[in-house]
């Protein structure tokens, strides 16, 4: 497998790279790959380009296809888990004892389950992320890193990056290469599903729960044909209410869909926000995602799914579906108190560099690696807040990462492939189940962890090989 998409004489030609970097930035701006700046995250008076790679990154065609093909099964799996309160209760029993954030989400789930279900339409826009694991004795394999069931970002911007890479490759004198950058339009796929759910509800407004945040261009793009109001939890605390039928009103407008771009991190919540979240979950509005779907995306659920027999619970007569999902799982190990958890701890302490310790958190930058794993595992009661996962070792590639305000230099990089999924269920009928596109994110190999939002990874495109 080639490590880079462009030949060495292009990659190492400093004069050409300088020129391409300038072309790349202008092309990104032209295509609307915009980002508010860190200095003024609440204003669009000054904007810059979204961080991205100068060149696309090689991805083996067969593994790319495998990821696309398994997506509709993951959509179904998430939906099934979100409705299985016994499963969620059991799976999350450990973490909710010690992790107050997950516990509070779970408390809302319980409350809503106990009430008569107000909304039978469930909409999930998710992104399943993978790395390609390379071991000395075999070809690369597709391994799932996680599935994001809330605020699965970059569907909008990822739809616009292929044209930028194609243009760069043409200017670099590689027109044939430019044809191998795939078309990609997750914005269209995700927006169609949102529109469908909005129609099913009865064409009211879509409500974005949004912090005023510098990444918002991608979201604007997704929803451009539907009336949208953007508010923070604190605004809804003042102007939101449920009527006697549990219809949700914000600023006097009935809400069809609550689209959460927020609410997946502890510091997204004040006491007031928790009240607002509960009100939204109890309402008739379609939640994207609802609280059960958010919980289905926790790392603990990911680990439990990898245990023998668990996928069979969700696909009882579909061994082929089970096999296709399971083939993407890396080794995942429980941290529960007991013999099995003790074995995990011993294994991790013996070879910490082979594992990643993951808490029940989202958004990047939360995982624990190497010697620090040993420190955390010494605290026995705390360990159930985590899961342990085999570290996936992708093939590094060399590329230039372009980021506003940072010098451009050749970096050794690792990439992560995300596949977008869209799923709608009405009652027991699945009315939508699609793979909506892809996202490649690339980061310098010196960082073990971290997404685009925390300033580590940048947007990229697969170059199929």
> Can you give the binding site for Mg ion, defined by CB under 5 A?
146, 148, 362
367 labeled part of a ligand binding site: yes
Q: Between 262 and 282, whose beta carbon lies closer to ligand ADP?
A: 262
d(CA 126, CA 422): 6
Picked from Mg ion, ligand ADP, none, the partner binding residue 389 (CB below 5 to 8 A depending on kind) is: ligand ADP
Q: Which of 160, 240, 362, 450 is catalytic?
A: 362
Interacting span for ligand ADP (CB under 6 A) from 11-19, 77-85, 266-274, 353-361: 353-361
445-464 positions binding ligand ADP, by CB under 6 A = 449, 451
Q: Is 299 a catalytic residue?
A: yes
148 labeled part of a ligand binding site: yes
369 labeled part of a ligand binding site: yes
Q: Between 292 and 451, whose beta carbon lies closer to ligand ADP?
A: 451
Q: How far is the CB of 413 from ligand ADP (least distance, A)?
A: 11
252 labeled part of a ligand binding site: no
Q: Between 153 and 184, whose beta carbon lies closer to ligand ADP?
A: 153
CB 10 within 8 A of CB 404: no
Q: What is the dihedral of CA 360, 59, 170, 22, to 10 degrees?
A: 30
Please tell me the total number of residues recorded for the chain in this structure: 465
Q: How far is the CB of 85 from Mg ion (least distance, A)?
A: 23
61 labeled part of a ligand binding site: no
Q: What is the DSSP string of 113-149?
A: HHSPPS--EEEEEEEEEEEEEEETTEEEEEEEEEEE-
CB 198 within 8 A of CB 206: yes
Give the x-and-dash track for 378-397 against ligand ADP (CB under 6 A): -----------xxxx-----
- Both structure tokens of 162: 């292929």
Q: Residue 249 to residues 21, 33, 305: CA-CA distances in angstroms? A: 48, 33, 37
411-450 positions binding ligand ADP, by CB under 6 A = 416, 449
How far the first Cα of the chain sits from its last, in Å, is 7
d(CA 167, CA 159): 15
d(CA 325, CA 370): 28
Q: Is 13 a catalytic residue?
A: no
Q: Is 441 a catalytic residue?
A: yes
Q: Is the dihedral of CA 182, 185, 190, 193 positive or negative?
A: negative
Q: How far is the CB of 48 from ligand ADP (least distance, A)?
A: 23
d(CA 129, CA 145): 5
CB 233 within 8 A of CB 265: no
Picked from Mg ion, ligand ADP, none, the partner binding residue 251 (CB below 5 to 8 A depending on kind) is: none
Residue (of 226, 270, 276) closest to 249 by Cα position: 276
Q: Is 358 a catalytic residue?
A: yes
421 labeled part of a ligand binding site: no
416 labeled part of a ligand binding site: yes
Q: How far is the CB of 295 from Mg ion (least distance, A)?
A: 13
d(CA 149, CA 290): 9
Picked from Mg ion, ligand ADP, none, the partner binding residue 367 (CB below 5 to 8 A depending on kind) is: ligand ADP
Please enumerate, by residue number, every residue annotated as part of a binding site: 127, 146, 148, 299, 358-367, 369, 416, 441, 443, 449
Please enumerate, by residue number, every residue annotated as part of a binding site for substrate: 127, 441
Residues taking part in catalysis: 127, 146, 148, 153, 299, 358, 362-363, 441
Binding site for ligand ADP (CB under 6 A): 129, 131, 145-146, 330, 356, 358, 361-364, 366-367, 389-392, 416, 449, 451
């Amino acid at each position: 497998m080639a490590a880079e998409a462009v030949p060495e004489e292009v990659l190492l030609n400093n004069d050409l790279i300088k020129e391409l970097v300038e072309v790349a930035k202008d092309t990104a701006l032209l295509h609307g790959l915009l980002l508010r700046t860190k200095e003024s995250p609440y204003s669009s008076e000054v904007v810059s380009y979204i961080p991205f790679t100068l060149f696309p990154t090689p991805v083996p065609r067969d593994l790319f296809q495998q990821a696309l093909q398994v997506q509709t099964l993951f959509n179904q799996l998430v939906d099934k888990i979100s409705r299985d309160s016994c499963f969620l209760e059991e799976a999350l029993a450990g973490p909710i004892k010690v992790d107050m954030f997950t516990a509070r989400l779970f408390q809302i789930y319980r409350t809503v389950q106990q009430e008569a279900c107000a909304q039978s339409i469930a909409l999930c826009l998710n992104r399943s992320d993978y790395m390609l694991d390379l071991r000395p004795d075999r070809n690369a394999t597709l391994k799932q890193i996680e599935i994001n069931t809330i605020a699965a970002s970059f569907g909008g911007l990822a739809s616009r990056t292929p044209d930028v890479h194609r243009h760069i490759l043409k200017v670099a004198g590689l027109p044939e290469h430019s044809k191998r950058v795939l078309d990609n339009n997750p914005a269209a796929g995700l927006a169609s599903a949102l529109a469908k759910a909005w129609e099913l509800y009865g064409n009211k407004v879509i409500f974005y729960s949004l912090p005023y945040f510098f990444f918002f261009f991608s979201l604007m793009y997704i929803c451009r044909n539907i009336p949208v109001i953007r508010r923070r939890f604190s605004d809804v605390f003042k102007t939101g209410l449920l009527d006697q039928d549990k219809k949700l009103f914000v600023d006097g407008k009935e809400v069809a869909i609550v689209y959460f771009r927020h609410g997946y991190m502890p510091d997204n919540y004040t006491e007031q926000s928790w009240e607002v979240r509960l009100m939204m979950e109890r309402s008739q509005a379609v939640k994207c995602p609802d609280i059960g779907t958010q919980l289905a995306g926790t790392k603990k659920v990911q680990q439990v799914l990898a245990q023998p027999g668990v996928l069979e619970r969700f696909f009882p007569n579909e061994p082929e579906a089970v096999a296709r999902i399971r083939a993407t799982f890396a080794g995942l190990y429980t941290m529960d108190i007991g013999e099995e958890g003790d074995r995990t701890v011993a294994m991790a302490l013996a070879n910490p560099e082979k594992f990643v310790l993951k808490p029940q958190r989202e958004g990047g930058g939360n995982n624990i690696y190497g010697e620090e794993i040993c420190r955390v595992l010494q605290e026995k009661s705390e360990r159930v807040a985590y899961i342990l996962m085999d570290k996936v070792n992708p093939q590094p590639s060399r590329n230039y990462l372009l980021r506003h305000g940072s010098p451009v230099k050749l970096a050794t990089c690792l990439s992560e492939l995300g596949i977008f999924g869209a799923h709608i269920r009405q009652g027991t009928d699945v009315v939508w189940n699609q793979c909506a596109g892809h996202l490649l994110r690339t980061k310098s190999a010196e960082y073990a962890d971290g997404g685009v939002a925390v300033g580590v990874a940048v947007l990229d495109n697969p170059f199929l090989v």
